[in-house]
Structure 1
Amino acid sequence: MTPANGHAAAHELRGVVEATRYVKGTIRTVQQPLVNLSDAPRGERASQLLFGEAFRVIDERDGFAFGQSLRDGYCGYVLGGALTRQDAATHWVAAPATHLYPKPRLKAPPEVAIFFGSHVRVTSDMGDFQKISTGHFVPTGHLQKLRARFADPVGVADMFLGTPYLWGGSSRWGIDCSGLVQQALIACGHDCPRDSDQQRGLGRELHPEEPLQRGDLVFWDGHVGFMSDAEMLLHANAFHMAVAYEPLSEARARIAASGGAGQGSGEIAARRRIEPTR
């Protein structure tokens, strides 16, 4: 969460961290369907950025850009070629995925797909299709205006049902437990950090006697999921290698007995309730 890598640091960190230089940074936009945000150049994936998302570039060298995602403040390295000049979005993709068509026709062969949460700038309303700034066409029903939000995070998470589990993933192509929670909460107007340990600060802790309800978050060390009702957990996990529903009692017993990367460990560590936005 600290935009500094030793070579350069954000200007607001002058006097806080040591760096060769301090910069304001340049805001750029992701121009690929997905790009990995890694902990080092050619390092391990920590998160992903989606098409149209903004990234504050602090340092560039050897084909990589170091900086900070404007979605959640997460810092890391992305391929420099995945970024382009800043483009002000007008809409976001509110379907699990959508195709970019070369023409506003259903039978036109789509060239590529982008994913839920991606940002686009609409330039023309073609009725059933919206033309975006890349020159492609997106089905109108797959887009929402930039400020539009859903009301039910669990309903959003359910759209990802069956999505393959992917450590650091943030899309229908592949997603992890905290990525699923983040995408669902942001789509419903809640600010949400990237990692499950950070997400344990959201909402309020439930009293031991309070029953769980739809939308509550259940945490283990290294894992998080949504309750779809008082008994059923919806989570991206490495046991199923997918986004899946699972009785909380079964998940609790399994994780306590074995656990592991991608599915948490130990007993339930926290139960949090996030109040609806107004």
Structure 2
Amino acid sequence: MSAFDPRMTPANGHAAAHELRGVVEATRYVKGTVKTVQQPLVNLSSAPRGERTSQLLFGEAFRVIDERDGFAFGQSLRDGYCGYVIAAALTRQEAATHWVAAPATHLYPKPRLKAPPEVAIFFGSHVRVTSDMGEFQKVSTGHFIPSGHLQPLRARFSDPVGVADMFLGTPYLWGGSSRWGVDCSGLIQQALVACGVDCPRDSDQQRGLGRDIPADAPLQRGDLIFWAGHVGIMSDAETLLHANAHHMAVAYEPLSQAKSRIAANNSGAGQGKGEIEMRRRLDKLS
């Protein structure tokens, strides 16, 4: 990946990260300020009011490099991805203690099952637990989350397919990263990060994960399959699990059927183009 890939370069002409001094041109160079997302979701865009390229989740950290006209430009600490977010979606940095390990969870005003929840947050969101109430955990916002929906910050799953399966039926959303909506590479990133694998945001970046699988080698659970502009994960030797624009959802599909359909269609955002280009295997999960 080029060092000047704009997706991964914290510079926008007005300002650049201080480590880029002498590398890229900018009016000023700054250390940046790390802030925390305070909304359930916020779009990360290629430009102010531009198209969504990714999303940040509640509690995630974002390094702000430049702020103007109601937008903050910076870099996600999850994956280094750069872009613009609505500045009001950010608040002061807060250290998390737990993350949401359920597809979604509600923030309850009281530690009671029947208390009307005020808002929901999604898988992968970060929270700071301030008090253990038994069946509920009180978090820094003053809300309560069911204890079974949270895991300590360093806890990880061991099966990325099992994680991806939690998103089954989630609507397809270009640039989406949550149960509210997800795209092909967003699904893979969520599944792998939850299993302790550092995973970049976009499918072309994800091609660097793992090792090549020869075209004639049997596939197995957890293998990644790449087309141009598309990625999915094998649930077994014959079945692909992927977020795709054909189903407009996260769906299981026989790999042979997906191959035929994609090759025949040869177009369409989120569906890939042409033949399978790469197969990758992750041998070790941390």
Quote the Cα distance in structure 1 between the aligned partners of 2:283 and 2:47. Answer: 36
5+ residue gaps, structure 1, are: none
**Residues 225-234 or 203-212, more deviating:** 203-212
**Any idea what the Cα deviations from partners look like across 1:102-143, whole Å, max 9, x if unmatched?**
000000000000000000000000000000000000000000
TM-score (norm 2): 0.97
Match of 1:147 among 144, 147, 154: 154
Q: Which moved more, 1:202-211 or 1:56-65?
A: 202-211
Output one character per residue of 1:166-223: Cα deviation in whole Å (capped at 9) or x when no partner: 0000000000000000000000000000000000000000123311000000000000
Return the alpha-carbon distance in structure 2 between the equivalents of residues 101 and 233 of structure 1.
Answer: 37
Q: Distance in 1 between matches of 2:10 and 2:47?
A: 13
Tell me, in whole angstroms, the C-alpha distance in 2 between the residues paired with 1:275 and 1:30: 33
1:9 & 1:263 partners in 2: Cα distance?
A: 35
Q: Of the candidates 266, 273, 276, which is equivalent to residue 281 of structure 2?
A: 273
Distance, in Å, in 2 between the alignment partners of 1:211 and 1:275 is 15
Q: Is 2:133 the counterpart of 1:126? A: yes
CA-CA distance at 1:47 after TM superposition? 0.1
Partner of 2:19: 12
Provide TM-score, normalisation by structure 1.
0.99
Distance 1:42 1:153 in 2: 33
2:110 is aligned, of 78, 103, 116, to 103
Q: Given the alignment, which residue of 16, 39, 44 partners 2:46?
A: 39
2:97 aligned with 1:83, yes or no? no
Structure 2: which amino acid aligns with 1:73? G
Give me the identity figure in percent: 85
Aligned counterpart for 1:136 among listed residues 143, 149, 160: 143
2:4 counterpart residue number: none
Would you say 1:237 and 2:244 are equivalent positions?
yes
Letter aligned with residue 198 of structure 1 = Q
Deviations 1:212-260 (A, max 9, x none): 0000000000000000000000000000000000000010011011131
**Equivalent residue, structure 1, for 2:223:** 216
Q: Which amino acid aligns with 1:222?
A: G
Question: Which SS does the other structure have where 1:147 is aligned?
Answer: coil
Q: 1:21 aligns with which of 20, 28, 31?
A: 28
| Residue number in structure 2 paired with 1:205 | 212
Would you identify which runs of 4 or more consecutive aligned residues in structure 1 move more than 3 Å? none
Question: 2:183 aligns to what?
Answer: 176
1:251 pairs with 258, 261, 267, which one? 258
- Aligned residue for 1:57, secondary structure, equals strand
Tell me, in whole angstroms, the C-alpha distance in 1 between the residues paired with 2:116 and 2:200. Answer: 37
Q: How many residues align?
A: 278
For 1:262, which of 251, 270, 276 is the aligned residue? 270
Q: Quote the Cα distance in structure 1 between the aligned partners of 2:51 and 2:216.
A: 41
Amino acid at match of 2:85: V
- 1:271 counterpart letter in structure 2: R
Secondary structure class of the residue paired with 1:66: strand
Shift of 1:276: 2.4
Q: List gaps (5 residues or longer) in structure 2.
A: 1-7
